[in-house]
A and B are shown apart, each in its own frame.
Chain A
Amino acid sequence: MTLPILRISGLRKHFSGVEVLKGIDLEVHVGETVALLGSSGSGKSTLLRCVNCLEVASGGSIWVGDEVMGYRQESKGTLRRLTESQIAVQRRQVGMVFQNFNLFPHWTVLQNIADGPRSILKLSKADAIERSMTLLTRVGVADRANAYPRQLSGGQQQRVAIARALALEPALLLFDEPTSALDPENVSEVTDVMAALAAGGATMLVVTHELGFARAAADRVVFLDGGVILEQGSPAEVFDHSQQPRTREFLRKTLV
């Protein structure tokens, strides 16, 4: 088997005494799409945010490729916390899509996407625009390139946000409940884009409540409960032959 692009081991996180993650071990391999399920408060968003250091883990480790996220291994074997600027460089391997899109409202759609390639990957202006337009075409929002985000529907904004994350060609894509802020009729236009990405070989870790998407597009489903991984397996194993009463209860309530 190939080397995992993401390796989380013994990850713990507590917020002012409350333990949210109680030792998580999880690997994601290149080309794999992993869906993270669980009720609210189970720690799945915190887990995702620890991966790109938006939250600082309290213990354990997160490896992306051959680097420990947020830290540097010194020659004498000690671990040194990185500065924000150094973490920024690490984060370039990891793209993230947020529940509330978080597009930059003072920039046009095109500027939102092209800024990263231009300022971080140092592409020429023409190349950055070309890459952005290609991505916008792929997510089906090319005709709104010069609009401002607030002039777009939620589904369009989230598709632009996906394009923005893809523009840096990250090794790993994180999705934090990408459809939870959308009107029900707009959900599928976003999950369709994500399913196409998954089928195209992208490596994705997706926190979602869209069980239909998880079943159809995920290679593996991970069920989180109370800060631990309770169960994981292929969609068929978890959805149809769950070994855990807690998982079955969650699925029953969510599917209703």
Chain B
Amino acid sequence: MANLPSNQTDIALPHPQHPVDVARALPPRRPATWVLSIITVVVAAQIVNLVLTNPNFEWNVVGQYLNSETVLQGVVMTLFLTVTALTIGLVLGGVLAVCKLSDNALLSALASSYIWLFRGTPQLVQLIFWFNIGLLVPVLSIGIPFGPTFASIESNTLVTPLLAAIIGLGLHDAAYQAEIYRAGLISVDEGQLEAAQALGMKPVRVFFRIQLPQAMRFIVPPTFNSIIALVKGTSLVSVIGGTELLFSVKQIYSQTYQTVPLLIVASIWYLFITTVLNGVQFFIERHYGRGSSRNGSSVIVARFFDRRAAKRYRNRGLQS
């Protein structure tokens, strides 16, 4: 008591009739939360009502075209572009990230320049550029550098809209993916790498068994961000005549003038694809999150799956 200010003394508390127990306490009153919740619900209901009852949305047309052949072909092309560009992005991005982190000044500078160029110019410009590569390099040849050529082909024949789209989306994605990888890799504690080295692990093994798996926790969320951006980014390909989803619905509404319902058809498909991706992300994140907390997952859904996963891990024993 000696250290307390003089105006603070023991307060005579009224003796409670019942012993106090916080376990029986009521939740706090939150009137503002209630008011805001009601306003939000009313506004949301109005928006839903507007969408469902406004005849201009033409939901019957949406239903009519959702599974039409042209649209489905567009969906398949969008998925194909996403998967091919993503493959290029994930692989090339990994190479770029490792080069940028390398001690070799030349490799590091090359990777930095690539990232600078492909992140610094608009994706749409890059797509149009690759589509028109024939203007810059009319003929592509295979041969000995500065020596004889074995085979050559006109750029315009080789670089179709499809190839231009794959190259354009893939190379652009690689630049972003490289930075995502790099962020994850440098977030791994230096002590982890030292411990692996001290055990006599060779650099490649340290990278793939120790650094990368721990980096994945930081790599996966932004990667899915960028995959979702890539799915939607494929719509830019319609500009160079790639027959993906947006191009397909454009083809239809340019004849029928049912612009709004067909854009909704495209949006529904984009939402469907990204929703599936969200699910995939959830499972991948859970896989790389193992061992990262004392009590397992905090998300309720994850807890449900964790019970089964925990059993699996217990039975698995040694992984290597």
- Write the nearest CB–CB distance from A139 to chain B, whole angstroms: 17
Binary contact readout B305-319 vs A (1 if CB under 8 angstroms, 0 otherwise): 000000001100111
Find chain A residues with CB under 8 A from B95 CB.
none
- Contact residues, B132-152 vs A (CB, 8 A): none
Of the candidates B195, B196, B288, B318, which one forms a contact with A111 in the assembled complex, judged by CB atoms under 8 Å apart?
Answer: B318
Q: Quick check: A150 and B191 within 8 Å, CB to CB? A: no
Q: Quick check: A84 and B291 within 8 Å, CB to CB? A: no
CA distance A151 to B189 in the complex (A): 19
Q: A100-B191, A168-B200 are in contact. Are A110 and B317 (CB under 8 A)?
A: yes
Q: A104-B210, A115-B320 are in contact. Are A91 and B200 (CB under 8 A)?
A: yes
What is the interface residue range for chain B against chain A? 20 to 34
Please give me the residue from chain B that is nearest to A110 by CB atom: B318
Q: Quick check: B314 and A102 within 8 Å, CB to CB? A: no
CA distance A92 to B197 in the complex (A): 9
Q: Quick check: B200 and A89 within 8 Å, CB to CB? A: yes
Binary contact readout A146-160 vs B (1 if CB under 8 angstroms, 0 otherwise): 101111000000000
Q: Quick check: A146 and B195 within 8 Å, CB to CB? A: no
Of the candidates B199, B290, B291, B313, which one forms a contact with A91 in the assembled complex, judged by CB atoms under 8 Å apart?
Answer: B199
Binary contact readout A112-141 vs B (1 if CB under 8 angstroms, 0 otherwise): 001110111000010011000000000000
CA distance A28 to B201 in the complex (A): 25
Binary contact readout A75-119 vs B (1 if CB under 8 angstroms, 0 otherwise): 000000000110011011011101010111111101100111011
A164 close to B (CB within 8 Å): yes
B293 close to A (CB within 8 Å): yes
Find chain A residues with CB under 8 A from B317 CB.
110, 129, 146
**How many A-B residue contacts, CB cutoff 8 Å?**
96
Q: Quick check: B203 and A88 within 8 Å, CB to CB? A: yes
B292 close to A (CB within 8 Å): yes
Q: A106-B214, A151-B294 are in contact. Are A111 and B320 (CB under 8 A)?
A: yes
What is the interface residue range for chain A against chain B? 35 or more
CA distance A118 to B200 in the complex (A): 13
Please give me the residue from chain A that is nearest to B295 by CB atom: A151
CA distance A14 to B202 in the complex (A): 26
Q: Quick check: A116 and B200 within 8 Å, CB to CB? A: yes
Find chain B residues with CB under 8 A from A146 CB.
313-314, 317
Find chain A residues with CB under 8 A from B209 CB.
115
Q: Quick check: A128 and B318 within 8 Å, CB to CB? A: yes
- Write the nearest CB–CB distance from B67 to chain A, whole angstroms: 44
Q: Quick check: A98 and B214 within 8 Å, CB to CB? A: no
Binary contact readout B176-198 vs A (1 if CB under 8 angstroms, 0 otherwise): 00000000000001011011111
Find chain B residues with CB under 8 A from A129 CB.
317-318
CA distance A52 to B197 in the complex (A): 9
CA distance A55 to B213 in the complex (A): 25
Of the candidates B201, B292, B293, B294, which one forms a contact with A120 in the assembled complex, judged by CB atoms under 8 Å apart?
Answer: B201
B205 close to A (CB within 8 Å): yes
A230 close to B (CB within 8 Å): no
Q: Quick check: B291 and A168 within 8 Å, CB to CB? A: no
Q: Please, could you name 17 A-B residue pairs with CB atoms under 8 Å apart, sorted by A? A: A54-B197, A84-B202, A85-B203, A88-B201, A102-B191, A105-B291, A106-B288, A115-B199, A118-B318, A118-B320, A125-B320, A146-B313, A146-B314, A148-B291, A150-B294, A168-B199, A168-B200
